[in-house]
Amino acid sequence: MKIAIVGCGATSISVVTQILAELSRAKFKHKALEILLFEKSEVGGLPYNDTSNAQLLNLPPSLMSVDAYNPKDFEEWLLEKNYTLDFVPRYLYGKYLKFRLAELIDQKLIPGVDIRLFTEEVKSINTSDKNRIFLVTAERAVNVHRCILAFGHSGPEPIPELEEVSGYFNDPWNIDWDKIPSDASVALAGSRLTALDVAKELISRGHVGEVVMYSRRGFLPSVRSKFSSPVALNYLRLDEIDFLGSKRLRLFDVLRLIYFELKSHGVNSLSCIKGYAPEYALEWIKKEINLADKVRIDQDIIGGIYRSSLIDYIWMKLPGEEKKLFLDRYLSGWMSIAHPIPLENAIFLRDALCQGQLKVRSGIKKILPINGGFSIQGKDVGISQIVINCKGVSKRLRHHRSSLVHQLLNSGQICEHEFGGMQIDPYSFHPIDRSGQLIRNFYAIGPMTCGVFFSVLAQVHNVRKSRQLAQRIVDEIKLESEKPLVGAL
Ligand SMILES: Cc1cc2nc3c(=O)[nH]c(=O)nc-3n(C[C@H](O)[C@H](O)[C@H](O)COP(=O)(O)OP(=O)(O)OC[C@H]3O[C@@H](n4cnc5c(N)ncnc54)[C@H](O)[C@@H]3O)c2cc1C
């Protein structure tokens, strides 16, 4: 059997790890299995191939293992290589991913399984034959029995009116820093993790000009407590969601259960997910830094819900209008508390705010190009020479950098989900084509399944789903291995 995986970022390395783990647990005699990995750029994916020391992982190593059966795998690797267990730079995670993949390829851990990596872009896929999937790169055309799409993030959420304007940088993950004069005033469109990464990178490179983070609501991320630990959920349970969902699940019901969870631990309001307006950014970050020395029940509960599989179940049960309500009213606040930043980044933010080099402004309405720069319009008007788009990753397939995504969309083999990414069946991971049919032997996993699943952004989410997908594929391999060969006596 041949399985192709498109993309070789953190998700597909997790999928391969989990397929091997499931094969070895299932203990059956399978036919020869070839796993063909295709990567158009660098193994490990975009977030982890940066070389900067300033760009830190935003989750602790204990939540970054590629192996669902060994959540300590990344921690063990760091210790083995004599690194600390802090929030390490992201490129170290890239090294870990490359190391683990090389090990999987070289060690031939499971007899009869051969893993091969091709540094080639998959340009097109044809799924019209029921039994085979046909992939084309510039170097080869291959027929496989199964194909997994793990092509990762879309491109940045664009600001179309600024696209061709000089001084505007659309892609915050591919900036030619030499093109930004060190004394230029820089406006960052956004105030969350991407904006913080860019501000930190600029300032650590010696930028002396003013840097202002602008956003509509201006929510700043919370700061991760040093004592974060899982909390058992007593109210927000599967049976309760099933009961409420037997009629029609409302966002109000879910928020009420979250409120009860918080209340049972002495937090008497949902204000933590309503977000924060940043008039007093410096006071906010100072307060958050102080709280990092204490247990944060709000982070433990919201973060715990965000990392659990229950959140995807709730998301699937919520009707469209209720989902929309959550996205409009609560998403920014939710992400701010569910994805807290490392203390080191918060200290950077506090110091840059104290020194007056960095500012945070909310109420941004639009950015207009003017002679020699930009006018940032909102509650107040700001002027800057440079604008960097820090709105984060787009949820839309049409903004994806890979031409393959456009080929699949245009040919109707995949289609956009109304809440972002592509339509897939959440249980089988099969994409749904333009005519509403599941495409068997074809699967999709990772950030571009963000409309169907709520939690696809962090590695811990994708590892959980990698295990589900691997179990499914190994069950299918098992069934096929047991089938007698057609024509056999
Ligand atoms: C800046 C940033 C920082 C992040 N930091 C963290 C963090 O600290 N912790 C965390 O848990 N999560 C973090 N994330 C979330 C991140 O989404 C996941 O951790 C993970 O990287 C997702 O992996 P992926 O393999 O699905 O996607 P990607 O990392 O995007 O990898 C997909 C790969 O597919 C390749 N590809 C695409 N199209 C083709 C094609 N046609 N042919 C061949 N190859 C193709 C791409 O080149 C890419 O290498 C971060 C995300 C970003 C954007």
Query: What is the CA(112)–ligand 1 centre distance, in A?
Result: 29
Strands 373-377 and 381-384: what pairing?
antiparallel
Higher pLDDT, 221 or 487: 221
φ, ψ at 279 (rounded to 5°): -55, -35
31 has a pLDDT exceeding 50: yes
Longest Cα–Cα distance in the chain: 82
What is the spatial distance between Cα 95 and Cα 88, in angstroms, rounded to a whole number?
A: 12
Nearest atom in ligand 1 to 121's CA? 42
SS (H, E, C) 279-318: HHHHHHHHHHHHHCCCCCHHHHHHHHHHHCCHHHHHHHHC
pLDDT tens digits for 90-145?
A: 999 999 999 999 999 987 778 889 999 999 999 999 999 988 999 999 999 999 99
pLDDT tens digits for 283-341?
A: 989 999 999 999 999 999 999 999 999 999 999 999 999 999 999 999 988 988 999 99
Q: How confident is the model at residue 41 (pLDDT cuts 50, 70, 90)?
A: very high
How much is the average pLDDT of 173-182? 95
355 has a pLDDT exceeding 80: yes
**Ligand 1 pocket residues where CB is under 6 Å:** 6-12, 38-41, 45-47, 57-59, 64, 121-122, 150-153, 173, 393, 402, 404, 446-447, 457-460, 462
Query: What is the CA(44)–ligand 1 centre distance, in A?
Result: 7
Query: What is the CA(129)–ligand 1 centre distance, in A?
Result: 30
* Burial class, 246, CB count within 10 angstroms (exposed 0-12 / middle 13-18 / buried 19+): exposed
For atom 45 of ligand 1, the residue with the nearest CA is 7
Contacts of 433 (CB under 8 A, 6+ apart): 127, 412, 413, 414, 415, 439
In the chain, the domains with their CATH numbers are: 2-155+394-482 (3.50.50.60), 160-216+363-389 (3.50.50.60)
Report which DSSP code applies to 259. H
Contacts of 328 (CB under 8 A, 6+ apart): none
What pLDDT is stored for residue 277 in this prediction?
Answer: 60
Query: What is the CA(201)–ligand 1 centre distance, in A?
Result: 20
Q: Which residue has the tokens 């059997």?
A: 1
What pLDDT is stored for residue 486 in this prediction?
Answer: 47
How much is the average pLDDT of 39-54? 92
Mutate to test the pocket of ligand 1, among 6, 15, 46 (most ligand atoms within 8 A of CB): 46
Q: Tally Cβ neighbours within 10 Å of residue 150.
A: 29
What is the spatial distance between Cα 202 and Cα 454, in angstroms, rounded to a whole number?
A: 32
Amino acid (one-letter) located at 316: M
467 has a pLDDT exceeding 60: yes
How much is the average pLDDT of 137-161? 95
Percent above pLDDT 90 for the chain: 80
